[in-house]
Structure 1
Amino acid sequence: MRYKIFKENVEYIETFNKIGTRSYKLGINQFADLTNKELQASRDGYQMFSYQKSPKASSFRYENVTAVPSSMDWRKKGVVTGVKDKGQYDGTCNTSQAAKITGYQDVLANSESALLKALAKQPISVAIDASGSDFQFYSSVIFTRECGTDLDHGFTTVGYGTGSDVTKYWLVKNSWGTSWGENGYIRMQRGIDAEEGLCGIVMQASYPIA
């Protein structure tokens, strides 16, 4: 049975890449012998912060930011930890456990502009609908697949930029190990028409407060 699942997934990946209707690529990874349902069941799903909102953090800290760099990659500034595979990930959006966190503050919901302002200042936790097969086997290039808004997995956005084909993207860190995606990262299209962003990325963005 496991081999049958693997074979079917490989056929899906190869067919997708051969047809080439999307610019991004899929690849065989550690989830190639799992059905999509099995992958979802192996993860504990998305849970929002267990921290209480701080009374001092009732407003969006970066609301008045007026100018942001054309691109940002917090990895180059040495503030992003290495990618790890958390296995049965609990889905909570923890950007760091190195410092004591007393609360968190929300980025304005359904606003790519607000997320961009915040991300220009620090990495930001987000929730995404990562339930699709293309997410499971994502390998490289900017992800542009339409998906839902049933937020089921926590990620950390660590930057943004523009691809060689001028497609704008969010740089997102996952917790599925370095064999998934672009060494554990995914570039997701930004600047789309949907107010919630691709896969709901701007619906519930937050950052911790020390």
Structure 2
Amino acid sequence: MASNQCLWLALFIFAVSVSGAISRAITDVPMSVRHEQWMAKYNRVYKDAAEKAHRFEIFKNNVEYIESVNNGGDRKYKLGINQFTDLTNEEFKATHTGFRPSKMTSARKATGSFRYENVTAAPASVDWRTKGAVTPIKDQGECGCCWAFSAVAATEGITKISTGKLVSLSEQELVDCDTDEDEGCNGGLMDDAFQFIINNGGLTTESNYPYKATDGTCNTNKESSHAASISGFEDVPANSESSLLKAVIKQPVSVAIDAGEDDFQHYSSGVFTGECGTDLDHGVTLIGYGKTSDGTKYWLVKNSWGKSWGEKGYIRMERDVDAAEGLCGIAMQASYPTA
């Protein structure tokens, strides 16, 4: 018995030493080499040596911040190097968000009351991906039209629930054609997008009207070829995570969050519990909820920054926090389309 214990102890010490050696090997690589490797991975090309030097300094600062947070060991989430690592936080927010709270005065009014008020049966967890109601992760690129991706994902969800068919719908149609209230790559609101879909009689497919990551002229021929439609939309009672839970039990929900902090930009995995405010600047889609083995409750959120960000494009955000508005304001302005 003693010899077995000694063997296991020796193996454990060996494993720890190997792990430490690997970690040191990674961090011992010169930052300039890591930057070159990162450029190759993400096909990043700079216009001249001056821009490369500028971006290298930003990359270096971000990597040092990421590693300092991860080495702190006191968080339920990890940060990681991703496609945004050579951007300052200000640049990142300017190009990859797009929910515009300043447009609230022109937001459409909900077309119905909160139909899920009396929902009482709450499963321990919900994940609409397992029910086939979520299309693969998409990437908005450097276009502030997160509002369109959020509204489309919620519409794809209710279409699957009501018709049994999952169809990838067109964000570009909203960017090009929904211009009375929303402003394409310059921002918009999900409720306005829902109202456009209602007024237009539907939305066409992604394949028919593919995404270009830039503002364009509305193609009325493609716009008139409807693949899905909604009858209305409803707002979730504000500042109520319990109401938000009731809604996402029944369907994917559009939510607005404050995604402007450094930790959100560099989020890699785990349940995000970081500091963030309620300056809503980003539209995403709530597709479920759950609880980790250590008891941490979370919301399951689909983002539109591609698969190399977060948990293959998704983020788990802490649920049932002390603040009524939820973490990062997730319970402040939620809504969903109706079939």
Fold shared per TM-score above 0.5: yes
TM-score by length of 1: 0.94
Structure with greater helix share of residues: 2
- Once the two structures are TM-superposed, the CA of residue 23 in structure 1 deviates from its matched residue by 1.8
Which range moves more in the overlay, 154-163 or 89-98?
89-98
Structure with higher RCO (Cα < 8 A, 6+ apart): 1
Structure 2: tracts of 5 or more residues without a match: 1-53, 156-168, 170-226
- Name the CA distance, whole Å, in 2 between partners of 1:99 and 1:53: 22
Aligned pair partner of 2:134 in 80, 86, 106: 80
Equivalent position of 2:144 in the other structure:
89
- Correspondence 1:34-45 to 2 at 5 A: 34-43=87-96, 45=98
Amino acid at match of 1:76: T
Deviation string, structure 1 residues 92-111 (Cα, Å, up to 9, x no partner): 13123452234311011100
Aligned pair partner of 2:72 in 13, 19, 22: 19
Structure with greater strand share of residues: 1
Query: Does 1:6 find its partner at 2:59?
Result: yes
Equivalent position of 2:263 in the other structure:
134
Alignment RMSD (CA, Å): 1.7
Between Structure 1 and Structure 2, whose CA radius of gyration is higher?
Answer: 2
SS, match of residue 307 in structure 2: coil
Amino acid at match of 2:286: T
- Once the two structures are TM-superposed, the CA of residue 19 in structure 1 deviates from its matched residue by 1.2
Contact 1:129 1:200 survives alignment (8 Å): yes
- Name the CA distance, whole Å, in 2 between partners of 1:36 and 1:51: 28
- Once the two structures are TM-superposed, the CA of residue 66 in structure 1 deviates from its matched residue by 1.3
Q: How many residues align?
A: 208
Amino acid at match of 1:23: K
Query: Does 1:119 find its partner at 2:258?
Result: no
Amino acid at match of 1:67: A
TM-score by length of 2: 0.59
Structure 1: tracts of 5 or more residues without a match: none
Contact 1:63 1:114 survives alignment (8 Å): yes
- Once the two structures are TM-superposed, the CA of residue 5 in structure 1 deviates from its matched residue by 0.4
Amino acid at match of 1:40: K
Which range moves more in the overlay, 84-93 or 22-31?
84-93
- Correspondence 1:1-210 to 2 at 5 A: 1-43=54-96, 45-47=98-100, 52-53=108-109, 55=111, 57=112, 59-87=113-141, 88-92=143-147, 93-94=150-151, 95-96=154-155, 97=169, 99-210=228-339
SS, match of residue 151 in structure 1: coil
Amino acid at match of 2:145: D
- Once the two structures are TM-superposed, the CA of residue 44 in structure 1 deviates from its matched residue by 5.3
Equivalent position of 2:44 in the other structure:
none
